[in-house]
A = this chain, B = another copy of it.
Amino acid sequence: MSDSPPRGAARTEAIMRTTLELGQEIGYAKLSMEAIAARAGAGKHTLYRRWPSKGALLLDSLLSLHRSSLDFSDTGDIVADLRTQMYAALDLLGNPPFGPLYQALVGEAQSDPQVAAALNERFITPQTELTVARLRTAQEQGQLSPDFDLDLAMAILSGPLYFQFLITQEPLTHAYADRIVDALFAGMGTP
């Protein structure tokens, strides 16, 4: 039986895989809907029916890569779980194909509000919810300060990663993640 939804899903997956391959080969700037369609053996209209722009298509393609890899584990030890999660985030940001293409996408989000909105809706917000949920459990278990401002969690944890990724553009290492987690837990002030 060859009904159309599976064919559609397989085609969608092939287009997203092609987007990542081609993006890695030629870079985001040179990537075009035309070139992706040609390489994937699909019609350009097929792409535009699902994705309004190459930014939207690239975002979906990148998300297809990371699914589950950024889920939070819950071993009962919040420091260990945060480290694990920060390592996963750094590994994703710091390596191809995700890293360079995601960097280009964030660059695009600075001038394209639609890309920025999609990035937040599809990636940042769900990630924030997972992070806050894991931290809330830790807070309830007394592993996190009862005063800790959970709504700041994503900015405080991810901010230093993005700062290095986008601004200083220095290598992202696990040692860097360790230092951030240590500093955030201990705090800057004298007890």
Contacts and interface: CB of A to CB of B under 8 A. Distances in A.
Interface in A73-95: 79
B180 A189 contact: no
A161 B160 contact: no
Interface string A134-148: 000000001111111
Contacts of A182: 149
A111 B29 contact: yes
A3 B62 CA distance: 58
B186 A145 contact: yes
A179 B107 contact: no
B190 A188 contact: no
Given A106-B110, A111-B104, A149-B182, A164 B168 contact: no
A120 interface: yes
A66 to B, nearest CB: 16
A78 B120 CA distance: 34
Given A110-B166, A149-B182, A159-B160, 16 more contacts: A28-B111, A103-B110, A106-B110, A106-B167, A116-B169, A124-B168, A144-B189, A145-B189, A152-B179, A155-B168, A155-B180, A156-B160, A156-B184, A162-B167, A184-B187, A187-B187
Contacts of A111: 28-29, 104, 107
